[in-house]
Amino acid sequence: MLQISNLMVFYENALALNDFSMSLQAGGIIAVIGSNSAGKTTLMNTLSGLIIDTKIKEQRKGGERITIYGKIIFNGEDITDLYPSERVKRGMVLCRERHPIFPESDLMENLRIAGYLRKRSEIKEMIDYVFHLFPTLVRLKNRKAGFLSGGEQQMLTIGMALIVKPSLLLLDEPLLGLSPMMQTTLVDAIKKIREQTGLTIVITEQFARPILPMIDYGYIIENGMLTLDGTGLELMENPEVKGAYFGV
C-alpha cells in the first residue's frame, strides 16, 4: 500500500531524515518510534505533503531552504511531488500533533468542517461512528473546541481525520502530553479503528511501551536514521529498546 524509498530531507544543511525506507501493507498498524528531534514529525509531514507547502512558503519569503530526495509510492502511484490536498483525495490523512483544531468553533462544527470532501450522508455516518468510538464527546458536542481538555481535543482531532474516510491514517504522536489513563483510552480506540474499519495506520511516538503491543511492525529512528526494525513483540523484547524507551 505504501512504499517509502531512500527518503532524505534537508533543512538548509541540517539532515532531518537520512536514507529512510519503509513499507506498509494494507490493514496493518506500523509504528515509528524515536525520541524528540529524531525525525518523526518530518517523516509525517513528508508523507502527508505538508512539507511541500512549507517548502514553498519558505521559498517565497526567502527563508530556510528545504530539500527532499527519495520516493513515496501510495497504492501504486508516485505521490512524492503531490500537494497535501491531492494526497487527502487519494485517501491519506494526517492527524497532526498538538491538537490542530478550530478553537472558536464548537465540536460539531469542527467535525463538519473536516468532512468538506464528503457527502452530507457520509459526514453523518462518520460523525455517528466518532461518537461511538469516543462516547465522551457526545456530551461536549456544543462546546467550543478551544475549551476542551488536551485529551478531549486529541479525540476530536482523530475524529476529524476519520470524517474524511481515509484508507491510510497517519497519527503523529497522539499520546503526547496525555495522562496514562487518556493514553490507554486512545490506544484502545486505535485498536478498535483497525478492527472495525480495516483502516491502515501509521503512528509516530516516543512512548513505546503502550504502542508496541498493538502494532504489526515497528521502526526505531535516531537522528533521522533507521537504527532498528521488527515486529512489535521483537522490539518489546529487545534490550536496547527497553533501555532507551522503557526506562529499564
Give the per-residue pLDDT at 5.
Answer: 94
Give the per-residue pLDDT at 6.
Answer: 94
Give me the phi and psi of 58, to 5 degrees please. Answer: -65, -35
Distance of CA 204 to the CA centre of its chain: 6
Q: What region, left, alpha or beta, does residue 75 occupy, with left being phi > 0 and alpha being psi -120 to 50 degrees? A: left
Could you state, in order of their start, the residue ranges of all structural domains in the chain? Answer: 98-163
pLDDT digits (tens, 9 = 90+) for 87-125: 999 999 999 876 678 999 999 999 999 888 788 888 899
Give the per-residue pLDDT at 201.
Answer: 95
Give the per-residue pLDDT at 247.
Answer: 55
CA atoms of 87 and 81, how far apart (whole Å)? 10
Query: For the chain, which residues score pLDDT lower than 70?
Result: 98-99, 247-248
Give the per-residue pLDDT at 185.
Answer: 92
pLDDT digits (tens, 9 = 90+) for 3-12: 999 999 999 8
pTM listed for this prediction: 0.91
Mean pLDDT score across all residues of the chain: 90
Give the per-residue pLDDT at 206.
Answer: 87
Give the per-residue pLDDT at 118.
Answer: 81
How far is CA 3 from each of CA 87, 114, 144, 160, 201, rounded to the nearest angstrom?
A: 14, 27, 39, 25, 14
* Of 127, 113, 91, 83, nearest in space to 1 by CA: 91
3-class secondary-structure state, position 171: strand
Give the per-residue pLDDT at 169.
Answer: 95
| Contact by Cβ (8 Å): 167, 193 | no
Q: Whose grid coordinates read 513515496?
A: 72
